[in-house]
Structure 1
């Protein structure tokens, strides 16, 4: 990944982290990468670089600073999560609720989807993308992966990790295949998955969920010592790349 080029860019009112393949490498397409509830922290930048090393132009927008969860706030919340001090960890939940008060409002969701559509606009201007745009994201970003796919039919592949479609999601608007990844030890999402599958079937969406035994929420995040599941993460990465290679392999019509 040392040859991957990455920098922060401005997209009309919000920033994003852009990572591109090494110079001269073939471009497989463009990817919107949506972060977790911690915001645009170093882990997401690392995932962006990993995907860029695989041949994708990746843009990871910061869609939480607009609501008060800057990368600095997210990094502090991550530090509390990883703390060996129980008293510090008990401060995490109220801090999270406070930080996400604005982001949980419906009008914020509408703004965020609009921001993600502007990321698609940008990716379509990138040399070599040729109309081949997908989206993936984690937790908060997994939910917005569903939302963007439903709101923008230019998206040709969607791969949410441990996210649920927002309540207002119109499944019928999803025109691309969706491959979702979950940990079986993630009760809330497991309880809701049958309804998601039924809704996708009714809407005619090509939807498939992979569920990993022994893994829980945030199993892909290798900076989360309490949740990371190496075997599940490795298999999900392999499946993600195979899915993207297939779904984005042909130029857009």
Structure 2
């Protein structure tokens, strides 16, 4: 698949993949629509293979990175799924209590990309917890297609409680300084916004291309926000103007960024939607934001 270059793929194909990845298009319809773009040396199987995540070759911080103490834990979510599995990561040589970051996955469970993001956050000097909302159904199944199907079966409200319970677990962890923020991606971005509304003690929230809360809920937000959007992600980014107006009207502390000519999922370096420049800038801003807001008072 190395013969295919990102520039060989039309934007409409990325839009189709976005619909497929977010359950707005079933697999059969996705394949049928892709056939319209299978011209020349581009076959449908080749395009599909190119679009799918490559977790094997695109992990930035390995699971056994010697600089980290990283492993799976379970925590209690009595209002949600009961006992939830998560990846807890921290720098191995930390000499003091650290700010905490909840890392919230997309709509497919705790896949290798999100685990990697959790380790990246730890490597930046935080203690991170990346929960797997698929735990009650057996956990992330090893591929995103099945993960999406599984996550769609879970109760939305119970999953929200699972992430709020993760906040409480991390806030009270012996290695955490009690200041906890959240970063999330697409579904996880929506969860980050939800937590900003529902968790008064949240210290910071960073939604990446996440669904916005209702304007009526914005007055409840106490945490500072940093919001990342993609200009080509027209469906999600369309909601930003109204959200920003509500944030301004209610005097909330926020920073909002729209990254030009990049797609939804631009931070995910395992798919061709990844944009290196935008992803690195957004992550740099995110870490600086957490560093500012997750220090002990």
Aligned-pair CA distance for 1:16: 0.9
Max Rg structure = 2
Please state if 1:16 is matched with 2:80: no
Give RMSD over aligned pairs.
2.2
Q: Quick one: distance in 2 between partners of 1:127 and 1:168?
A: 36
Q: Distance in 1 between matches of 2:173 and 2:196?
A: 20
- Contact 1:25 1:55 survives alignment (8 Å): no
- Residue aligning to 2:157: 110
Contact kept? 1:172, 1:203, Cα under 8 Å: yes
Residue 189 in 1 paired to residue 236 in 2? yes
Instruction: Please report the TM-score for the alignment, with normalisation by the length of structure 1.
Output: 0.82
Of 208-217 and 15-24, deviating more is 15-24
Pick closer, same or farther for the CA change 1:38–1:235 going to 2, 3 Å. Answer: same
Following superposition, the deviation at residue 127 of structure 1 comes to 2.8
Deviations, residues 78-111 of structure 1 (Å, cap 9, x unaligned): 9xxxxxxxxxxxxxxxx95x545434xxxx2321
2:285 is the counterpart of 1:233: no
SS at 1:71's partner residue?
coil
Q: Does 1:126 align with 2:177?
A: no
Deviations 1:177-200 (A, max 9, x none): 100111111001221111111122
Q: Which runs of 4+ in 1 moved over 6 A?
A: none
How far is the alpha carbon of 1:131 from its aligned partner?
Answer: 1.7
Kindly tell me: are residues 25 and 221 of structure 1, through their superposed partners in 2, closer, same or farther at Cα, counting changes over 3 Å? Answer: farther
Number of matched pairs: 227
TM-score (norm 2): 0.71
Query: What pairs up with 1:237-248 in 2 under 5 angstroms?
Result: 237-248=283-294
Find the aligned partners of 1:47 and 1:167 in 2 and give their Cα distance. Answer: 28
- C-alpha distance 64-169 of structure 1, shift in aligned 2 (>3 A): farther
What corresponds to 1:3 in structure 2?
67
Q: 2:215, 2:246 within 8 Å by CA — same for their partners in 1?
A: no
Match of 1:48 among 109, 118, 124: 118
Please report how far the alpha carbon of residue 125 of structure 1 lies from its aligned counterpart in structure 2 after TM superposition.
2.0
Q: Which runs of 5+ in 2 are unaligned?
A: 1-64, 77-82
Contact 1:181–1:209 (CA<8 Å) still a contact in 2? Answer: yes
Partner of 1:91: none
What's the offset of the Cα at 1:57? 0.7
